[in-house]
Amino acid sequence: MGRIRTWLKGYLQVYVSGNRPERFLSLMKHKEIPVWEVEPYEHGYLFFMEQSKFRELDAIRKKAGCKLEIRQKYGLPFWLFRYRKRKLLVLGVLIGCGLVYWGSMYIWDVNVHGTYFYTDAQVADYIEQNAVQLGCRKAKVDCHQLEEELREAFPEIAWVSCEIKGTQLNVEIKETLEGTEVIQPDAAPQDIVAAKDGVIVEMITRNGTPVVKNGMTVAKGDTLISGVIYIYDDFDEVLETDMVAADGDVIAETVYQYSDSFDMQYYEKDYTGKTQYSLTVEFGNFLKEFRLPFKAYDYYDQVEENHKLKLGHTYVLPCSFTVNRYQEYIPTMHTYTEEEARNRAQERFQNYISNLSEKKVEIMENNVTIDFRDNTCEAVGTVVVWERIGYGRPLTVQEELRQTEENE
């Protein structure tokens, strides 16, 4: 918005020369006259400034013994003066500026950055459906409240910042590291329980009472770290108990069952080179598609290219257009050789392993075999990994009593 206001007010490119142009620049800085893009040029300096401040330079120029020359004039006032005789054009520009100013009071775009566990689209969709709809007034957006709502709706979010720039709502997110939960000091009492079956290989308890130890086999739902802590007397008898929010990291060896298959016969797309287009224009909630008459293809790929109209980087206009490209192709059947099928099965398995690794699991071994039957390639086996399996489960008074009885 700063650049837009500057353009609306008008600005100048000025050349200063003389015996002491550096002295002139220092005096301008002392007088707090804003300038930008100052650069040496010939025997002086070029810089930009608002045209309304130019008169203030006369006294500084005389004191520094310099000469000033206006090289270029930019902005709405000079444009209007240049085209003052073309009234309809000027009127159209004024109306356009009015629409731009009106649009600057609303949110027209939501940008989300920093997601890992969630996707940017997931968070943006939640914001648009529950908090900030596109086209709502910026004055009605409470960024602090939105941050609280996002933390409640997405438990993996550890930190979030919402900020309005221009007509964009920018949301910066940091999620909890490696899938661990962030336990607040005043969090409600809870146990850490197993999310799946496994064998415990490593355990760190930060709060609460550990229930299992390395080498133990646990089942889904078993308590790993209890939220009940015990205070003993000198005779090792339970003196009292307390309920806390159990916290810790529990890593277990777990087994994933892998199964994948695909047909030995497959289709490839042979593109004919024929392409047709349509244009979709969106203004606010208004949507209109323009399509030239054409014969529909039997087989085609559709590629969409969406373009939002912007002024600068942060001023998004409530108008966008989408170019739809339709590319014709003819499907041709092929058959894998066993070597080709084996390579494809291995490639698909490696993609599966990569996806597991992105979930912060450590691959220990895999026992997957590839076989061929009934014109089908099959890959079946197991993958052994080390991963975090603990998650928080609220602790009730009944649960506390049960755990206390078991401890006694």
Query: Mind spelling out the 3-state secondary structure of 170-227?
Result: EEEEEECHHHCCCCCCCCCCEEEEECCCEEEEEEEEEECEECCCCCCEECCCCEEEEC
* Residue type at 370 in one-letter notation: I
Q: Kindly list the averaged pLDDT for each block of 10 residues, start to end, along the chain of length 408.
A: 70 89 88 89 89 88 88 83 70 70 76 79 84 80 87 81 84 66 61 93 92 94 89 75 88 94 92 86 64 75 80 66 88 93 94 86 91 92 93 68 52
Q: How far apart are CA 195 and CA 252, in angstroms?
A: 10
Q: pTM of the full predicted structure?
A: 0.49
The count of residues in the chain is 408
Reference 28, options 61, 5, 50, 51; nearest CA is: 61
Per-residue confidence (pLDDT) for residue 337, from 0 to 100: 93
CB neighbour list of residue 42: distance below 8 Å, 6 or more residues apart: 17
**Which DSSP helix (H) or strand (E) runs through 401?**
helix 397-407
Tokens read off for 244: 């806390």
Q: How far apart are CA 192 and CA 390, in angstroms?
A: 6
What are the residue ranges of CATH 3.30.70.260 in the chain?
Answer: 2-80
Reference 146, options 133, 135, 156; nearest CA is: 133
**Which DSSP helix (H) or strand (E) runs through 343?**
helix 338-358
Q: Tokens 């968070």 identify what position?
A: 123
Per-residue confidence (pLDDT) for residue 109, from 0 to 100: 80
Tokens read off for 148: 């609280």
Q: How far apart are CA 46 and CA 344, in angstroms?
A: 62
Q: Checking DSSP bridges between strand 238-243 and strand 228-232, what pairing results, if any?
A: antiparallel
Q: How far apart are CA 392 and CA 181, in angstroms?
A: 8
Q: How far apart are CA 189 and CA 193, in angstroms?
A: 13
Looking at domain 2-80, its CATH class is alpha beta
What are the residue ranges of CATH 3.10.20.310 in the chain?
Answer: 109-175
Q: How far apart are CA 144 and CA 207, in angstroms?
A: 30
Q: How far apart are CA 381 and CA 367, in angstroms?
A: 5
- Quick check: 391 and 195 in contact, CB under 8 A? yes
Per-residue confidence (pLDDT) for residue 176, from 0 to 100: 62
Q: How far apart are CA 251 and CA 245, in angstroms?
A: 19
Q: What is the CA radius of gyration of the chain?
A: 33
Per-residue confidence (pLDDT) for residue 280, from 0 to 100: 80
List strand residue ranges (DSSP E) for 208-314, in order: 209-210, 217-218, 223-226, 228-232, 238-243, 247-263, 265-283, 286-291, 300-311
Reference 362, options 116, 179, 90; nearest CA is: 179
Strand partners, 342: none
- Quick check: 128 and 134 in contact, CB under 8 A? yes
Q: How far apart are CA 128 and CA 132, in angstroms?
A: 5
Burial class (CB in 10 A: 0-12, 13-18, 19+), 216: middle
Specify the fold of 109-175: Ubiquitin-like (UB roll) (3.10.20)
DSSP state letters, 132-154:
--TT-BGGG--HHHHHHHHHHH-
Give the rounded distance of the alpha carbon of 246 from its chain centre. 31
Tokens read off for 29: 């800085």
